[in-house]
């Protein structure tokens, strides 16, 4: 279909309103209006767009409003894409941001092919992803609450020095503490209750994720990812929820880049300069990969638990996992012991390569 017959529609959405900008072909003039984000507003938008001659192509940025607008437009037979906000081109001198300007800019960039379209999950995948992300939020809440309790006790002169924190012994020490002042005692009791509440929530989420991991549609992928050191059920389910089908990434570097673990680069001519990781990708994947990467600082021999997870898996999968054991442990030790890199930097570098091994396992078909 010729480009001049295509109608390009950029939309800037928020919880209540949808600012719409419409361009016909390569025309510089455009039409704009505001539509509601409720059911009636989306229905009127669909009716308005269907009156346009030619093919309709809509776009908006992924955000807190989710994918309901995308799904309703697609169901009505209107082509719609969702793009990654972090990868939207921005002019260095442009310091004016309004819904109207954003909608127009999206339509023009979409028409020029300058936007990065994301893969929109179906409702089942989105619900699974919400589950794993909610578990991550609770884990962060638990850590913050634990830190608050420790800082409160430290201000009161209580410093635990008999081993690791949050063990049974540590909890027994905390529960023996009593304050004469009723206000301080209230803070202590409520802080303990807050930590325990987060711990119970975390157990509930973990149990639900474990239950999902046994379902036929997830079990095979999870069990294969678990052949890698440091990749337990929670990490494997996070990878499944965030990527769904690893085969949609044509090459391993594409998956690595999607995690934001690749180095930034500012090169010109013969001068090559690489900087920190881009972090322009899925932060949830990046977090679990870095956590898993720390396991490769230890010796590369597989323990009993890891051997049990690998038992019964395809030979190709086990081979990839064994190569990962050797390569990633060697890389971690070389960066720290030979090149004197900080362990945290080594962990990030190993996480990037771990993503490549996950990709390789995801390409194997029965």
Q: Domain segments of the chain: what residues?
A: 3-112, 123-213, 216-362
Pair of tokens at residue 194 = 């807050």
Nearest to 306 by CA among 283, 287, 329: 329
Nearest to 158 by CA among 135, 187, 132: 187
* Cβ atoms 138, 198 nearer than 8 A: yes
According to DSSP, the β-strands at 17-24 and 274-277 are: unpaired
Q: Cα-flanking dihedrals φ and ψ of residue 36, to 5°?
A: -75, 160
Nearest to 282 by CA among 84, 81, 134: 84
Rounded to two decimals, the pTM is 0.87
CATH of range 3-112; options 3.30.420.140, 3.30.70.20, 2.40.37.10, 3.30.2090.10: 3.30.420.140
User: SS3 for 257?
Assistant: helix
**CA-to-CA distance for 126 and 208, rounded, in angstroms?**
15
Query: To which H or E segment does residue 55 belong?
Result: strand 55-61
Query: To which H or E segment does residue 81 belong?
Result: strand 79-83
Per-residue pLDDT of the chain (366 residues; tens, 9 = 90+): 444 589 999 999 999 999 999 999 998 989 999 999 999 999 999 999 999 988 999 999 998 888 999 999 999 999 999 998 878 888 888 888 899 999 999 999 999 999 989 889 999 999 999 999 999 999 999 999 999 999 999 999 999 999 999 999 999 999 999 999 999 999 999 999 999 999 999 999 999 999 999 999 999 999 999 999 999 999 999 999 999 889 999 999 999 999 999 888 776 666 777 778 888 889 999 999 999 999 999 888 888 999 999 999 999 999 999 999 999 999 999 999 999 999 999 999 999 999 999 999 999 986
Q: Which residues pair with 35 in a beta bridge?
A: 18
What local confidence, expressed as pLDDT, does residue 299 receive? 85
């Amino acid at each position: 279909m010729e480009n001049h017959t295509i109608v390009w529609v950029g939309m800037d959405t928020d919880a209540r309103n949808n600012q719409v900008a419409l361009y016909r072909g390569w025309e510089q003039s455009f039409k704009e209006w505001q539509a509601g984000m409720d059911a009636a507003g989306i229905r009127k938008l669909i009716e308005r767009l269907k009156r346009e001659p030619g093919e309709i192509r809509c776009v908006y940025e992924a955000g807190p409003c989710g994918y309901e607008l995308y799904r309703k437009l697609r169901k009505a037979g209107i082509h719609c894409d969702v793009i990654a906000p972090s990868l939207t081109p921005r002019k260095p001198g442009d310091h004016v941001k309004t819904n109207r300007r954003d909608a127009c800019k999206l339509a023009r960039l979409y028409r020029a092919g300058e936007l990065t379209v994301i893969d929109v999950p179906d409702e089942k995948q989105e619900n699974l992803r919400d589950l794993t992300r909610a578990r991550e939020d609770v884990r962060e809440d638990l850590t913050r609450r634990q830190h608050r309790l420790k800082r409160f006790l430290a201000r009161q002169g209580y410093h635990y020095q008999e081993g690791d924190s949050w063990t049974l012994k540590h909890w027994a020490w905390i529960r023996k503490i009593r304050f004469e002042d009723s206000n301080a005692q209230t803070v202590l009791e409520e802080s303990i209750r807050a930590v325990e509440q987060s711990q119970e929530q975390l157990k509930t989420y973990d149990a639900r994720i474990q239950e999902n991991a046994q379902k036929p549609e997830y079990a095979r992928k999870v069990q294969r990812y678990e052949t890698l050191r440091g990749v337990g059920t929670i990490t494997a389910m996070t990878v499944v929820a965030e990527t769904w089908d690893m085969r949609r990434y044509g090459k391993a570097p594409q998956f690595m880049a999607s995690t934001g673990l690749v180095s930034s680069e500012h090169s010109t001519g013969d001068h090559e300069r690489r900087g920190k990781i881009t972090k322009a990708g899925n932060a949830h994947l990046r977090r679990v990969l870095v956590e898993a990467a720390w396991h490769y600082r230890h010796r590369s021999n597989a323990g009993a638990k890891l051997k049990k997870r690998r038992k019964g898996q395809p030979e190709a999968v086990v081979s990839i996992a064994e190569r990962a054991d050797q390569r990633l442990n060697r890389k971690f030790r070389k960066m720290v012991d030979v090149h004197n890199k900080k362990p945290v930097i080594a962990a990030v570098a190993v996480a990037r390569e771990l993503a490549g091994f996950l990709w390789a396992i995801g390409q194997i078909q029965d």
